[in-house]
């Protein structure tokens, strides 16, 4: 028997937002995710004030030195303070995660809505473009593009953003296809609403829930992609601190200074976990259709 | 079904064409010309340069280069490495693909064998301690970057315990850690899907009907729930198979395995663009074919799909 939750009586009309917030609050891991991400945003905004040392300052004679009171995470292979570099690394992760996802969502929703609403040849053509993008193994595509265009922070954001929209387009298209045939859409049309009004008032608001959920779940994946690119030397370039780049140093010196590889990996994992949990919470709050599958511990 | 087959085949062909054009144009965004890279600092006359260009076909117009390339690729002639001169790209790819395929197939079977029973059992005993454990570990399995898991396993099993080699393939032992890493990730994903899909199945009307007519719970789960719940999971497995050769680039890099991913990264770094081009096209075509086959099988098994 599946457990049914008891409906909470709502004595007076609440706004859509406050009802969603009430649902979101009930999922504790989602709250944890949200607070972790807020803390990370603070770190990434003012790392110069919060980190004890400069992320590029080299302490002489301290190569790979283990943790101490004044340097709780120790030093990297050329004697830089690991804690400071780890804090600075949050900046790259968040910039890439948020901006690239933003680009993908905008392009994906536009393409998906156009494709689903217009149908016919436009849909067939756009769907082939989406298929093509999805056919390239994403990391293979990113590695090639990054090498060809020259790796940098901007390159990473742009190529991840412009290659990652296909999944949003696919979801939005499928949703629009079915929403287009719903009674309320037909009713709106019968009442004389134009295409633009139907798309923006009746269809897109219903699509945004799943898109927001997909985006918050997608940010984690993008942060992993970014760190993978930096790990391979094709992401953000040194001396800028990025967690992936630090892991790359960690790998090179893994048999001599294994502690280098620990902190950045923990931070990537926690960040990805936080975004995934936030996404689960948002799914409960915004996308009640999928609610059952995600109600868990 | 025939109509569906024809339209999916047509779509597949168009996508492969677009993929090949995409790959080719991407490689021609590279600043500089491969001949300059090949020659490097060597003293060479303009005449010799032209001769080399002619030999590689770089002097011809771009669309002719594309047609020549795609024609050769279709015939299975992947060209020659610009860097390791004289070695056919096909041989280089073939040797590397064996390593990658072994690694992935092994990991794949292990993770399917683990994930399906775990997912089903977690769904059937929802909210139990077991379900909780499955969900927590699969949440972690999805959040931890696999290359970092790899590094930590190296620290534990190679550096501290000294049981397994950290890098390369000195013996079969070299496969243990990378396979474990891939299994961790794949199992997390598949177990989660299987659980969600089983839970959805348990809520269906036909399951209530089956229970109402007095079937034993075990029969209800195995016949009515799991059989339907497997469909979406099998689709995902099909799509994952398509990425079999391309999903482990970073892992191969961590463990220095001489696989396709490693070859790809090396070729990218050396601007060996015949090799890069061939690998990108090959991997993408494999994805298209894998997805196509999955869709066709799915369309055959589940008639609801064909009508869309």
Instruction: Annotate A124-144 with DSSP letters as a single string.
Output: HHHHHHHHHHHHS-HHHHHHH
Plot region of A74 (φ>0 → left; ψ -120 to 50 → alpha; else → beta): left
- The proportion of chain A whose per-residue pLDDT surpasses 70, expressed as a percent, equals 92
Higher pLDDT, A169 or A288: A169
Show Cβ contacts of residue A267 under 8 Å, excluding neighbours closer than 6 positions. Answer: A86, A89, A90, A93, A243
- From the list A232, A233, A269, the residue facing B145 with the nearest CB is A269
pLDDT (0 to 100) of residue A94? 94
**Alpha-carbon distances, residue A259 vs A89, A243, A262, B166 (angstroms):** 17, 14, 5, 16
Q: Which residues of A94-114 are buried (b: 16+ CB within 10 A; e: fewer)?
A: bbbbbbbbebbbebbbebbbb
Asked if the model's pLDDT at residue A79 lies above 60, the reply is: yes
Provide mean pLDDT across the span B238-245. Answer: 79
Asked if the model's pLDDT at residue B308 lies above 70, the reply is: no
Provide mean pLDDT across the span A144-162. Answer: 90
Asked if the model's pLDDT at residue A63 lies above 50, the reply is: yes
**Alpha-carbon distances, residue B244 vs B147, B209, B238 (angstroms):** 17, 40, 10
CB burial of residue A17 (10 Å; 0-12, 13-18, 19+): exposed
pLDDT (0 to 100) of residue A293? 39
Asked if the model's pLDDT at residue A231 lies above 90, the reply is: yes
Provide mean pLDDT across the span A38-50. Answer: 88
Asked if the model's pLDDT at residue A136 lies above 80, the reply is: yes
pLDDT (0 to 100) of residue A289? 57
Higher pLDDT, B182 or B159: B182
Cβ of residue B152 closer than 8 Å to a chain A Cβ: yes
Question: With bands split at pLDDT 50, 70 and 90, how would you rate the model's confidence at B36?
Answer: low
Mean pLDDT (chain B, rounded):
83
Provide mean pLDDT across the span A24-43. Answer: 90
Show Cβ contacts of residue A216 under 8 Å, excluding neighbours closer than 6 positions. Answer: A275, A278, A279, A282
End-to-end Cα spacing for chain B: 12
Asked if the model's pLDDT at residue B88 lies above 60, the reply is: yes
The pLDDT tens digits of the residues spanning A6-22 come to 555 555 566 777 888 88
Look up residue A109 and give its two tokens: 């929703």
A156 φ, ψ (degrees, to nearest 5): -60, -45
pLDDT (0 to 100) of residue A264? 92
- The proportion of chain B whose per-residue pLDDT surpasses 70, expressed as a percent, equals 91
A-to-B residue pairs, Cβ atoms closer than 8 angstroms: 147
Residues of chain A neighbouring B177 (CB-CB closer than 8 A): none
The pLDDT tens digits of the residues spanning B178-204 come to 999 999 988 998 998 899 888 888 888
Cβ of residue B287 closer than 8 Å to a chain A Cβ: yes
Residues of chain A neighbouring B26 (CB-CB closer than 8 A): 144-145, 148
Dihedral sign from CA coordinates of B134, B136, B141, B143: positive
- From the list A128, A276, A296, the residue facing B11 with the nearest CB is A128
pLDDT (0 to 100) of residue B34? 64
pTM of the predicted structure, to 2 decimals: 0.85
CA B205/CA B228 separation, integer angstroms: 13
Per DSSP, what are the bridge partners of residue B168? none
Asked if the model's pLDDT at residue B35 lies above 70, the reply is: no
User: Do A100 and A161 meet the contact criterion of CB atoms below 8 Å apart?
Assistant: yes
CA B85/CA B222 separation, integer angstroms: 58
- From the list B147, B152, B264, the residue facing A231 with the nearest CB is B147
User: Do A297 and B131 meet the contact criterion of CB atoms below 8 Å apart?
Assistant: yes
User: Do B261 and B67 meet the contact criterion of CB atoms below 8 Å apart?
Assistant: no
The pLDDT tens digits of the residues spanning B134-150 come to 988 988 888 899 899 99
pLDDT (0 to 100) of residue A14? 66
Look up residue A215 and give its two tokens: 């985006």
């Amino acid at each position: 028997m599946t457990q049914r939750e008891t409906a909470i009586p709502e004595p007076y009309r609440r706004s859509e937002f406050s009802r969603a917030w009430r649902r979101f609050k009930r999922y504790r891991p989602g709250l944890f995710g949200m607070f972790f991400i807020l803390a990370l945003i603070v770190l990434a905004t003012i790392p110069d004030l919060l980190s004890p040392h400069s992320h590029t300052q080299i302490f002489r004679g301290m190569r790979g030195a283990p943790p101490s009171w004044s340097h709780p995470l120790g030093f990297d292979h050329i004697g830089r303070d690991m804690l400071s570099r780890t804090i600075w690394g949050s900046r790259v992760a968040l910039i890439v995660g948020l901006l690239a996802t933003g680009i993908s969502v905008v392009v994906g929703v536009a393409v998906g809505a156009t494709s689903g609403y217009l149908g016919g040849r436009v849909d067939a053509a756009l769907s082939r473009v989406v298929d093509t993008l999805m056919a390239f193994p994403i990391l293979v595509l990113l590695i090639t593009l990054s090498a060809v265009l020259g790796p940098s922070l901007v390159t990473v954001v742009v190529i991840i953003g412009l290659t990652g929209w296909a999944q949003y387009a696919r979801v939005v298209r499928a949703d629009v296809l079915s929403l287009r045939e719903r009674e309320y859409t037909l009713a709106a049309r019968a009442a004389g609403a134009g295409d633009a009004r139907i798309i923006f008032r009746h269809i897109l608001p219903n699509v945004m829930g799943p898109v927001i959920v997909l985006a918050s779940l997608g940010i984690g994946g993008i942060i992993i992609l970014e760190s993978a690119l930096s790990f391979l030397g094709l992401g953000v370039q040194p001396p800028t601190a990025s967690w992936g780049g630090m892991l790359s140093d960690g790998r090179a010196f893994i048999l001599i200074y294994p502690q280098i590889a620990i902190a950045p990996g923990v931070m990537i994992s926690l960040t990805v976990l936080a975004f995934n949990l936030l996404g689960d919470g948002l799914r409960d709050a915004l996308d009640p259709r999928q609610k059952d599958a995600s109600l868990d511990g | 079904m025939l109509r569906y087959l024809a339209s999916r085949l047509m779509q597949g062909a168009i996508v492969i064409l677009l993929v090949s054009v995409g790959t080719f144009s991407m490689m021609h965004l590279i600043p500089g010309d491969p001949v300059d890279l090949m020659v490097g600092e060597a003293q060479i006359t303009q005449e010799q340069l032209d001769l080399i260009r002619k030999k590689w076909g770089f002097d011809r117009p771009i669309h002719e280069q594309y047609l020549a390339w795609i024609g050769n690729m279709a015939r299975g002639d992947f060209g020659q490495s610009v860097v390791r001169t004289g070695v056919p790209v096909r041989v280089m790819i073939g040797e590397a693909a064996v390593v990658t395929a072994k690694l992935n197939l092994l990991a794949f079977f292990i993770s399917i064998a683990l994930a399906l029973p775990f997912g089903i059992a977690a769904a059937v005993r929802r909210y139990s301690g077991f379900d909780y454990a499955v969900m927590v570990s699969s949440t972690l399995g999805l959040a931890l970057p696999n290359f970092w898991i790899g590094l930590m396993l190296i620290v534990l099993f190679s550096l501290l315990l000294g049981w397994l080699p950290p890098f390369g393939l000195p013996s079969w032992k070299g496969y243990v850690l990378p396979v474990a890493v891939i299994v961790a990730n794949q199992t997390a994903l598949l177990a989660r899907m299987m659980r969600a899909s089983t839970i959805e199945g348990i809520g269906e009307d036909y399951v209530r009907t089956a229970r109402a007519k007095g079937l034993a719970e075990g029969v209800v789960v195995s016949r009515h729930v799991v059989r339907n719940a497997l469909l979406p999971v099998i689709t995902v497995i099909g799509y994952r198979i398509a990425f079999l050769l391309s999903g482990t680039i970073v892992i191969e890099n961590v463990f220095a395995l001489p696989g396709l991913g490693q070859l790809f990264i090396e070729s990218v770094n050396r601007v060996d663009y015949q090799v890069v081009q061939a690998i990108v096209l090959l991997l993408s075509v494999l994805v298209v074919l894998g997805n196509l086959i999955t869709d066709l099988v799915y369309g055959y098994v589940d008639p609801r799909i064909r009508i869309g």
